[in-house]
Chain A
Amino acid sequence: MSLTGHGPGAVRLRDLSFAFVARGGGSLPVLDGVDLAIPGGGIVALVGPNGCGKSTLLRVIAGLLEPARGEALLDGAPIDGPDPRIGLVFQEPRLLPWRSAADNITYPLELAGWPAARRRERLAALSDRVDLDPAVTTSRPAELSGGTRQRVALARALALEPEVLLLDEPFSALDALTRERFDLELLRLWHRAATTIVIVTHSIPEAVLIADRVVVLSARPARIVADIAIDLARPRTIEALDDPAAGRASRRIRAFLEDDDGEPTEHRTTAASVRTELAS
């Protein structure tokens, strides 16, 4: 019952290739013919071996890197640079240390030229959206916990009401329990805003819990080796991971990852994933 196929935020990657130019003049291929269609409002998780090019793929979608071949489309039009319809959450919160949490959240609005009164209005809505305690918005990032900092980063990514939210291992620095809570909050957020979500993760349980589809990438240069649909009803809770369908999906993802020649992928073992493994 996901909201796929409707509304804006459809991302289409067509035969996408990318290579970094090496110092000697040669090139290092990172993406090799990636073909992917994500319907508007869909959630796709990208998993793959370390250094396989997941983050690079995300940066191409974000318009920060230009593909060598192929194209990335948003709602049918080529993405030819950073776009306000695309929000980005990085692996680290990446906050401006000299600004308060509030001024970090409204930074995109400031750059877009919003007057201060409107920014303040929007700040309240955004803090509410990501469950940020309004009392901490006057604090500097250094005074906040890791989780709160990432909450601020999430609010900042939502500031311009993007159609697509790209998340690059957003919760990997958080402890297991906090991470689970953030995964579920991300889902609640999605139910309200219905943005397309592309999330890069190393955690199979996280991918299964969040996504409609888990896309497995090969070692560099990344190709898509599997596109696995997650048949779990929404709204999902943490118990969704106890569902046999979740166990089956996890095992398939793991099999594809271990098939690959790349480094073994670190995967987090939660109580839930142990339970599903024991049950199988």
Chain B
Amino acid sequence: MTRVAALSIVVAFAVFVLVWKAIVVVSGLPPFILPAPETVAIRFVGAWRDGTIEPHLATTLVEVGLGFAVGVALALIAGYGLARSVWVERLLSPYLVAAQAIPILALAPLLVWWFGNGLLSKVVIAALIVFFPVAVATMVGIRSVDARLLELGRSLRATRRQVLLTLEIPAALPNILGGMRVGVTLAVVGALVGEWAGANQGLGVLINLARGSLFDIPLMFATLVTIALVGIVLYLMVVILERRLVGNR
């Protein structure tokens, strides 16, 4: 990252905090509606020190990580099938569209009812929401493989496996990683939605606790900040992976 880019991020963040502070001062809203940025910052540090956030964060990260991995793995297989087989496309497309048409929010309570309050239901929900963008990106990527390169592979007697590993995957990689970039932020959404539908631990649970029984609005904001950081860090991890794999094309 260049110095200018880094500086612009710092400036944007500073402006955000200043506007927030100005709204608090000018509007005179009570802290249980909109706490001041420094109040949230102090609560954030405090909640980390006393170990309030950590177990919830760990739970959510495991859900997000597993959900993302399972969703991506299934999407790669399905996306490849969709691109290469008319029959797979005919059989799978109606379900894909239907799964997209039903909001995950409406589906989450049912999935928690089926798969329980624990990890499994969150992984299922996160995987489900990650699946669609990655599958579509994989399908588009595999279909975009240059037919002339495939002919080259054939002239060199490449096996099915060699075509997949040396031609199709490298050619589709930019598309697949683009899908994963969208998917990773959706995995966080999926885990939180799952926690809202029923869970004992997780950042989504902590938000509910802070708003309800604890009535600790600054803690709610601190949790929000944590969730935002999780999303940003995961997104950046995919971007870095993308740079390393396809950046120098």
Interface residues on B, range: 20 to 34
Known: A92-B148, A94-B149, A98-B246. A110 touches B166 (CB 8 A): yes
0/1 string, B159-170, CB within 8 A of A gives 1: 100100011001
Chain B residue at smallest Cβ distance from A98: B170
| Bound form: Cα–Cα A64–B167 in Å | 18
- Which residues of chain A are within 8 angstroms of B5 by Cβ–Cβ distance? none
**Inter-subunit contact A107/B156 (CB<8 Å):** yes
**Inter-subunit contact A64/B148 (CB<8 Å):** no
**Inter-subunit contact B155/A97 (CB<8 Å):** no
| Smallest CB separation, B244 vs chain A (Å) | 13
| Smallest CB separation, A201 vs chain B (Å) | 20
Majority secondary structure of chain B interface residues (helix, strand, loop or mixed): helix
B:72-95 near A, CB below 8 Å: none
Q: Which of B151, B152, B156, B159 has the most CB of A within 10 A?
A: B156
Chain A residue at smallest Cβ distance from B146: A94
0/1 string, A35-71, CB within 8 A of B gives 1: 0000000000000000000000000001110000000
Q: Which of B159, B166, B167 has the most CB of A within 10 A?
A: B166
**Inter-subunit contact A62/B156 (CB<8 Å):** no
**Inter-subunit contact B154/A108 (CB<8 Å):** no
| Smallest CB separation, B8 vs chain A (Å) | 30
| Smallest CB separation, B6 vs chain A (Å) | 28
| Bound form: Cα–Cα A63–B155 in Å | 8
Please tell me if B70 contacts chain A, counting CB pairs below 8 Å: no
- Which residues of chain B are within 8 angstroms of A63 by Cβ–Cβ distance? 155
0/1 string, A86-111, CB within 8 A of B gives 1: 00101010101110000000011011
Please tell me if A140 contacts chain B, counting CB pairs below 8 Å: yes
- Which residues of chain A are within 8 angstroms of B249 by Cβ–Cβ distance? 97-98, 140, 142
**Inter-subunit contact A94/B148 (CB<8 Å):** yes
Please tell me if A84 contacts chain B, counting CB pairs below 8 Å: yes
Please tell me if A82 contacts chain B, counting CB pairs below 8 Å: yes
Chain B residue at smallest Cβ distance from A92: B148
- Which residues of chain B are within 8 angstroms of A96 by Cβ–Cβ distance? 149, 166-167, 170
- Which residues of chain B are within 8 angstroms of A112 by Cβ–Cβ distance? 156
Q: Which of A62, A92, A98, A140 has a CB less than 8 Å from the CB of B155?
A: A62
Chain B residue at smallest Cβ distance from A160: B156
- Which residues of chain B are within 8 angstroms of A82 by Cβ–Cβ distance? 154-157
| Bound form: Cα–Cα A151–B41 in Å | 62
Please tell me if B248 contacts chain A, counting CB pairs below 8 Å: yes
- Which residues of chain A are within 8 angstroms of B156 by Cβ–Cβ distance? 82, 107-108, 111-112
Chain B residue at smallest Cβ distance from A110: B166
Please tell me if B158 contacts chain A, counting CB pairs below 8 Å: yes
**Inter-subunit contact B166/A111 (CB<8 Å):** yes
- Which residues of chain A are within 8 angstroms of B154 by Cβ–Cβ distance? 64, 82
Chain A residue at smallest Cβ distance from B162: A111
0/1 string, A142-172, CB within 8 A of B gives 1: 1000000000000000000000000000000
**Inter-subunit contact A90/B166 (CB<8 Å):** no
| Bound form: Cα–Cα A62–B155 in Å | 7
Chain A residue at smallest Cβ distance from B152: A94
| Bound form: Cα–Cα A20–B248 in Å | 40
- Which residues of chain A are within 8 angstroms of B152 by Cβ–Cβ distance? 88, 90, 94
- Which residues of chain B are within 8 angstroms of A110 by Cβ–Cβ distance? 166
**Inter-subunit contact B148/A88 (CB<8 Å):** no
Q: Which of B155, B158, B159 has a CB less than 8 Å from the CB of A64?
A: B155
- Which residues of chain A are within 8 angstroms of B167 by Cβ–Cβ distance? 96
| Smallest CB separation, A183 vs chain B (Å) | 23
| Smallest CB separation, B174 vs chain A (Å) | 9
**Inter-subunit contact A88/B246 (CB<8 Å):** no
| Bound form: Cα–Cα A271–B214 in Å | 91
| Smallest CB separation, B167 vs chain A (Å) | 7
0/1 string, B205-249, CB within 8 A of A gives 1: 000000000000000000000000000000000000000001011
- Which residues of chain B are within 8 angstroms of A84 by Cβ–Cβ distance? 157
- Which residues of chain A are within 8 angstroms of B149 by Cβ–Cβ distance? 94, 96
Q: Which 4 A-B pairs have the closest CB atoms?
A: A82-B155, A98-B170, A108-B156, A82-B157
A-B contact pairs, 10 of them (CB 8 A): A82-B157, A92-B148, A94-B149, A96-B166, A96-B170, A98-B170, A108-B156, A111-B162, A112-B156, A140-B249
Q: Besides the contacts A82-B154, A108-B156, A111-B166, what 6 more A-B pairs have beta carbons closer than 8 Å?
A: A64-B154, A82-B155, A94-B152, A96-B170, A98-B170, A98-B171
